């Protein structure tokens, strides 16, 4: 559409120059007298030398503790311009620029440079960086094209550049140590430094690119419109912090389990008497089992002198389980160290019901918002609740089943025999029985070992029974062995089920209820208390730290310009991090992956 206008203009100029224009009267009711004064060559942007162009790319800039990072040569970017009378571009950078052809230049930034770099007055950058390099790129042509880029950038023949498609080999940018910047402000916000320690922003792959094909808008005098294209890349942005609130809740969980063990052990400590209906059932069963006729001697139960039970619960394995990491793939909590890690892209998606992560968002989108941090808190609470329900509860159930049971029965046996036509009846034998096993074994849990029954039979009153037996020609040892053998099987088949139903099952029911009460308290009291303590920590972080993606100073919500804001200069920043102290005074401001184009002007 431009060519006819340019051709007509050229024709008019040509005719005017030749003196062939003749003024004639007009019958119109108005007269339009129009003057056009320009250089004909400037109207044709395909012609070399028609436009002054500038492009800029810089990986990192900003301020730190009042120190401007712009003069720091080690992290200087690249500026490429093509200014009259030049027809080709030139690059300005503290590094060694690489001529890519087609008026494009680049310089690499080794990421290792960012680790602890002294930026002046002994102030060092609070970065831990990955290995690898990022590209800083600029292209400026004399026909109106400007392209600036930095970060994960791929360049190609003809000076082309584009954002990378990050792969496993693409380096992460850095870990920004926030705690070194915000630690002193925490007390003023009512947060103990131990509750928000080692705070880090883990920045993965980032990149920014801006392209301005400026001729049409310059010629029309209008806004850039679709001739200006800006894009950014943020791949893998994570938050990490170590908080005493996490280790405190872990300690509370362990303490509650220790207290639970004390309560469980108190239900039936060793030597607890079996009483009531349970004692009657045990006694009746023994009476049946001990109705014996052995070697000419009648044996029967004279008395059940003692019946006790003890259950020993060991919850140490459950206490030990309160350690290590809990994760849902987005938020990870380490109960041992107190480390909390979060995938900010996934949290952002969950908080706002989106699915694109941190790419493709509107200009100047804040990331550490109240909804995002609320999502983090909600997930942390859910992780703890699930841990209690899905890890601790099964571990407690297993501990209940593994509890050691010891039942001790002491009985006196009546022995009766006929000697010389005389019936002799004496309390001749003592029966001592121990039944040991686990709760699971007693209650028939699959795979649990069967309870073990051990029985000893001895003479009740030394000398009395033995004298009687001598008259019958029976040794004491033969009789006690016979009794032991006779009761071995029925004690297992008849007495153990009675112990299970009358003693162990009721105790297990009480233990289960006690455990359920503790678990309920953990989920309804301990976890909510943790969140009450943890939410102000996250609120303090939001107050002190701003993270913005797709930063553009010419759009609403601007976080400022990464470089000199010349009129007609268009910026793109992938990630902006701002850190303030308790009085909202800036402590640090980092612009990560920056590009700009312009100002461009017709020559």
Residue 413 backbone class (left: φ over 0; alpha: ψ -120 to 50; beta: rest): beta
Cβ 338 vs Cβ 212: under 8 Å? no
Domain with 59, as residue range(s), is 48-242+554-602
Report the distance separating Cα 99 and Cα 349, nearest Å. 41
Same domain, 485 and 413: yes
Same domain, 125 and 234: yes
Does residue 455 fall inside a structural domain? yes
Q: Please tell me the predicted confidence (pLDDT) of residue 473.
A: 86
Q: Please tell me the predicted confidence (pLDDT) of residue 11.
A: 28
Cβ 139 vs Cβ 187: under 8 Å? no
Q: Please tell me the predicted confidence (pLDDT) of residue 32.
A: 32
Using pLDDT thresholds of 50, 70 and 90, give the confidence band for residue 130: confident
Using the Cα atoms of residue 149, residue 567, residue 552 and residue 130 in order, give the sign of their dihedral: positive
Question: 15: part of which helix (H) or strand (E)?
Answer: helix 2-18
Same domain, 134 and 263: no
Does residue 336 fall inside a structural domain? no
Q: Please tell me the predicted confidence (pLDDT) of residue 41.
A: 42
Does residue 423 fall inside a structural domain? yes
Average pLDDT for 264-276: 97
Does residue 247 fall inside a structural domain? no
- What length is written for the chain? 603
Does residue 346 fall inside a structural domain? no
Q: Determine what percent of the chain is predicted with pLDDT higher than 90.
A: 82
Q: What secondary structure letter does DSSP report for 586?
A: E
Same domain, 567 and 428: no
Using pLDDT thresholds of 50, 70 and 90, give the confidence band for residue 417: confident
Same domain, 67 and 180: yes
Using pLDDT thresholds of 50, 70 and 90, give the confidence band for residue 23: very low
The lowest-confidence range among 107-111, 217-221, 512-516, 527-531 is: 217-221
Same domain, 55 and 120: yes
Does residue 90 fall inside a structural domain? yes
Does residue 8 fall inside a structural domain? no
pTM attached to this predicted model:
0.86
Report the distance separating Cα 567 and Cα 400, nearest Å. 75
Reply yes or no on whether the pLDDT at 553 is more than 90. Answer: yes
Same domain, 81 and 140: yes
Same domain, 233 and 98: yes
Same domain, 568 and 421: no
Residue ending a domain, choose from 467, 498, 522: 522
Same domain, 268 and 227: no
The lowest-confidence range among 12-21, 109-118, 333-342 is: 12-21
Q: Please tell me the predicted confidence (pLDDT) of residue 44.
A: 66
Structural domain count, the chain: 2
Using pLDDT thresholds of 50, 70 and 90, give the confidence band for residue 43: low
Backbone angles phi, psi at 472, to 5 degrees: -90, -5
Using pLDDT thresholds of 50, 70 and 90, give the confidence band for residue 585: confident
Q: Please tell me the predicted confidence (pLDDT) of residue 470.
A: 82
Reply yes or no on whether the pLDDT at 339 is more than 80. Answer: yes
Does residue 475 fall inside a structural domain? yes
Same domain, 491 and 516: yes
Q: Please tell me the predicted confidence (pLDDT) of residue 523.
A: 98
Reply yes or no on whether the pLDDT at 501 is more than 90. Answer: yes
Same domain, 56 and 188: yes
């Amino acid at each position: 559409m431009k060519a006819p206008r340019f051709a007509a203009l050229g024709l008019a100029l040509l005719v005017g120059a030749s003196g062939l224009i003749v003024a004639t009267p007009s019958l119109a009711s108005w007269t339009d007298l129009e003057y056009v004064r320009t250089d004909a060559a400037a109207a044709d942007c395909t012609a070399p030398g028609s436009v002054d162009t500038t492009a800029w790319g810089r990986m990192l800039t900003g301020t730190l503790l009042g120190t401007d990072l712009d003069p720091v040569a080690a992290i200087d970017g690249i500026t490429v311009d093509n200014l009259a009378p030049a027809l080709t571009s030139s690059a300005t950078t503290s590094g060694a620029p690489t001529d890519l052809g087609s008026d494009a230049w680049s310089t690499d930034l080794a990421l290792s440079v960012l680790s602890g770099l002294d930026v002046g007055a002994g102030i060092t950058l609070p970065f831990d960086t990955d290995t690898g390099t990022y590209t800083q790129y600029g292209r400026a042509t004399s026909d109106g094209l400007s392209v600036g880029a930095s970060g994960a950038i791929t360049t190609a023949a003809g000076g082309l550049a584009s954002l990378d498609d990050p792969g496993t080999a693409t380096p992460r940018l850095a870990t920004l140590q926030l705690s070194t910047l915000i630690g002193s402000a925490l007390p003023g916000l009512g947060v103990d430094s131990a509750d928000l320690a080692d705070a880090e922003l883990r920045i993965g792959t980032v990149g920014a690119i801006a392209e301005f094909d400026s001729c049409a808008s310059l010629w029309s005098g209008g806004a850039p419109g679709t001739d200006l294209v800006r894009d950014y890349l943020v791949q893998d942005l994570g938050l990490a912090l170590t908080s005493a609130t996490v280790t405190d809740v872990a300690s509370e969980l362990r303490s509650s389990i220790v207290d639970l063990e004390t309560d469980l052990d108190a239900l039936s400590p060793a030597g607890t008497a079996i009483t009531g209906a349970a004692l009657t059932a045990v006694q009746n069963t023994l009476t049946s089992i001990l109705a014996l006729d052995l070697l000419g001697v009648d044996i029967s139960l004279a008395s059940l002198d003692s019946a006790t039970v003890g259950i020993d619960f060991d919850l140490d394995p459950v206490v030990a389980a309160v350690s290590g990491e809990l994760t849902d793939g987005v938020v990870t909590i380490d109960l041992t160290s107190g480390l909390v890690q979060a995938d900010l892209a996934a949290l952002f998606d969950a908080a706002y019901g989106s699915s694109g992560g941190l790419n493709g968002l509107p200009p100047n989108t804040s990331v550490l918002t109240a909804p995002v941090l609320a999502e983090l808190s909600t997930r942390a609470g859910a992780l703890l609740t699930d841990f209690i329900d899905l890890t601790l509860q099964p571990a407690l159930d297993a501990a209940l089943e593994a509890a050691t049971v010891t039942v001790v029965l002491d009985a006196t046996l009546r022995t009766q025999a006929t000697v010389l036509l005389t019936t002799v009846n004496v309390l001749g034998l003592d029966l001592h029985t121990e039944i040991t096993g686990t709760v699971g074994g007693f209650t028939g849990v699959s795979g649990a070992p069967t309870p073990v029954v051990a029985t000893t039979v001895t003479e009740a009153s030394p000398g009395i029974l033995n004298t009687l037996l001598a008259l019958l020609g029976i040794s004491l040892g033969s009789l006690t062995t016979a009794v032991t053998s006779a009761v071995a099987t029925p004690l297992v088949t008849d007495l153990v089920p009675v112990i299970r139903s009358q003693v162990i099952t009721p105790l297990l029911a009480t233990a289960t209820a006690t455990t359920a009460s503790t678990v309920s308290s953990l989920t309804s009291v301990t976890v909510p208390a943790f969140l009450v303590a943890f939410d102000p920590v996250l609120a303090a972080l939001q107050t002190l730290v701003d993270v913005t993606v797709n930063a553009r100073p010419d759009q609403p919500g601007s976080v400022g310009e990464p470089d000199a804001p010349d009129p007609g200069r268009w910026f793109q920043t992938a990630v902006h991090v701002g850190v303030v102290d308790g009085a909202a005074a800036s402590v640090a401001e980092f612009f990560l992956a920056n590009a700009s184009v312009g100002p461009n002007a017709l020559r």
